[in-house]
Structure 1
Amino acid sequence: MDGRRLGWRAAYELLALRVRRPEWAFMNYGYASDDAPALALSPDEEPDRLCINLYERTLAGADLRGRDVLEVGSGRGGGSAYVARHHGSRSVVGLDFSAAAVDLSRRHRRAPGLSFVRGDAQVMPFADASFDVVLNVESSHCYPSFAAFAGEVARVLRPGGTFLLADFRPADAVPTLLADLRASGLVLEAHDDVTPQVVEALRRDDDRKRALIGAWLPRFTHPLMRRFAAVEGSRGFAAFASGRTTYVVARLRKPVHA
């Protein structure tokens, strides 16, 4: 695993171990657009509206009603819980590599049909054809082999099932990402560059993220976590704003007949 992936994984694990408070439910960069739906959120969900917007953008075009859903890289569980509460799924399973994150999610996230499992995205602990929908939001950049992950997604999806992806890559690595998706045997139905909307969300959410880092994390971790959160002035934010890093959402389908 290269240094950049190790850095991301260290940041995720630090949050899981150091911030045991359930209020920090989402870790994605968010999505802000004038045409984003006016979601009806509870008071507990409202602070995370921009992060929830990114889930809604990723889910666009997919019907989760009555479906069995897997979120790979469920983190602190906020996204899986939101999907289970708002999208009428039969079940939602959140899978994460971090035992601390899974433990936090099991203790604090409640919704009908919701559960959390510890496991590796590249060797998922599920039988073939277990899920109708696989969701992966801002997690795959940490995986040693995206191609291996995409192959696992294809394995655990049922025929006709949907894979929904949201993540970022260096701009010159996006063609490789799309090639790996196509090589998985899934049909790439749609993909979009949503970097401008992510940058706008980062700007709007900057004060809140700085406050959370300052209040809940030790001072020595602040430089790493400001970069991790892509606050304004960090290298992470500059990479998005300059176009060096691209944020992609994609929807794929598993063929009914292989």
Structure 2
Amino acid sequence: MGTREDMYGLFTSVNEINLNGERNRGDAKDGKLKNNIATSYDLQAQMSKKGILWNWGFHDDQIAKEMNARIPDFLNYDTDGFSEELYFFALKQVPFDLDDFAEKSVLEVGCGLGEGLNFLSRVTKAAGMVGLDLSEQAVKRANASLSRDGLSYVQGDAENLPFEDGEFDVVLNIESAHNYPNLEKFLAEVARVLKPGGYFSHVDLFTTQRHAHMQELKEKDLGLEWIHERDISAEVRAAVHRRLAPDGSFHKALQGQRMGMVQRHMAKRVGPEAVGGSFAGYYDSRSTKLLKKMGLLPAQFMPPVDSYRHIVAKKR
């Protein structure tokens, strides 16, 4: 499968998962969707620059201030900080003090290239941190460049976690579950690997259909007590707008890359979609519309995202 076919497979699969729910799909269909997603992220893992976090970001002045106090001058070098803010926010919503993680174990499901969990390992000194991702290439790269004592990465399926019952105090899931065909299986696995009294901090983008399905699952006995939900769409859009501003990190990154005129034009027009542009109100340019019409780009990159939410649950 070529690069364009890989990306088409990703977009088609994500739309299928988030617009059609989990109804009328069998294991074979789910397996195909996962394969498309894994293939695409394997490709992205090979192409991504070091330090990249695969999320749309989050911005709140107070959170940014607290984060920079935790790691002085962090926001002055190498990053716009918005993706890290999302991780920092998600961890802070767990009702453990950041200084009390010395005996806690943390699992991130859907860790991508591992940079987010690596950042959190600097924020708090947990007893152990493990990242899991479906993409074999992403996990290999994370282990090669980031793993060390107390921080490791494993390849695996979010719907069939390769861990023992009650192994973790905290499970994080950051902008990843919209890629999971069977959300119920994932939530049941989270409950299984959490210790009694452990916490699940879940952040994701939601279509209307996917959020309705999430609400249905909250009513089921999956072993989790749902204690908090917050719509953080405004904070996510704030990050996207800052990232895509003329003087933002997106355009600065383009300026620093060597590429042909056509490639640069494509990146400037299409790239914003990858960082949440449509969710923040950015619309297709004429050239992007033409490329879609010609079949060179998928007609719909992402499903129509209705909201971006943070949800916390506790293991009973």
Query: Is the TM-score greater than 0.5?
Result: yes
Q: 1:45/1:96 Cα in 2 relative to 1: closer, same or farther (>3 Å)?
A: farther
Distance in 1 of aligned mates of 2:212 and 2:40: 27
Structure 1 residue runs of 5 or longer lacking an equivalent are none
Could you say what secondary structure the match of 1:188 adopts?
strand
Offset of 1:169 from its aligned partner? Answer: 1.0
**Change in CA separation of 1:238 and 1:33 when aligned onto 2, cut-off 3 Å:** farther
Structure 1 Cα separation of the partners of residues 77 and 181 of structure 2:
32
Q: Does 1:139 align with 2:176?
A: yes
| Counterpart among 70, 73, 79 of residue 47 in structure 1 | 79
* 1:33-70 deviations in Å (ceiling 9; x for gaps): 23324122436865141111111221233226121000
1:28 equivalent among 49, 55, 79 = 55
What is the TM-score when the length of structure 2 is the normalising length? 0.70
- Aligned-partner Cα distance in 1 for 2:120–2:310: 17
Q: Tell whether 2:114 aligns with 1:77.
A: yes
C-alpha displacement of 1:84: 1.5
Cα deviation 1:69-88 (Å, max 9, x = unaligned): 00000001111111122112
TM-score for the superposition, normalised by structure 1? 0.84
What letter corresponds to residue 191 of structure 1 in structure 2? E
Instruction: Compute the displacement of 1:181 (Å).
Output: 3.9
2:81 is paired with a residue of what secondary structure?
helix
Task: Count matched residues.
Answer: 249
Q: How far apart are 1:156 and its partner, in Å?
A: 0.6
2:177–2:183 Cα contact (<8 Å) kept? yes
1:29-178 to structure 2, matched below 5 A, reads 29-38=56-65, 39-40=67-68, 41=71, 42=74, 47-62=79-94, 63=96, 65=101, 66-110=103-147, 112-178=149-215
* Pairs within 5 Å for 1:214-225: 215=257, 219=263, 222=267, 225=271
Note the C-alpha offset of 1:32: 1.2
CA RMSD of aligned residues (A): 3.0
Q: What is the CA–CA distance in structure 2 between the aligned matches of 1:205 and 1:27, rounded to whole Å?
A: 14
Deviation at 1:228, TM superposition (A): 2.4
Answer whether contact 1:84 1:112 (CA < 8 A) is retained.
Answer: no
Question: Which one has the largest radius of gyration?
Answer: 2
Letter in 1 for 2:237: V
1:201 aligns to 2:227 (yes or no): no
Equivalent AA in structure 1 for residue 240 of structure 2: L
CA distance 1:71–1:111, shift in 2 (3 Å): same
Distance 1:10 1:155 in 2: 28
Give 1:3's aligned residue: 12
Query: Are 2:308 and 1:247 equivalent residues in the alignment?
Result: yes
Partner of 2:125, secondary structure, is coil
Shift of 1:107: 1.7
Check conservation: 1:134, 1:157, Cα contact below 8 A: yes
Q: Does the 8 A contact of 1:190 with 1:252 survive in 2?
A: yes
SS at match of 2:61: coil
Cα deviation, residue 10, structure 1: 5.6
- Of the structure 1 ranges 213-222 and 246-255, higher mean CA displacement relative to structure 2 is found in 213-222
The verdict on how the C-alpha distance between 1:9 and 1:247 changes in structure 2, with shifts beyond 3 A counting, is farther
Amino acid aligned to 2:152: S
Q: What is the CA distance between 1:127 and its match in structure 2?
A: 1.0
5+ residue gaps, structure 2, are 1-9, 15-32, 285-299
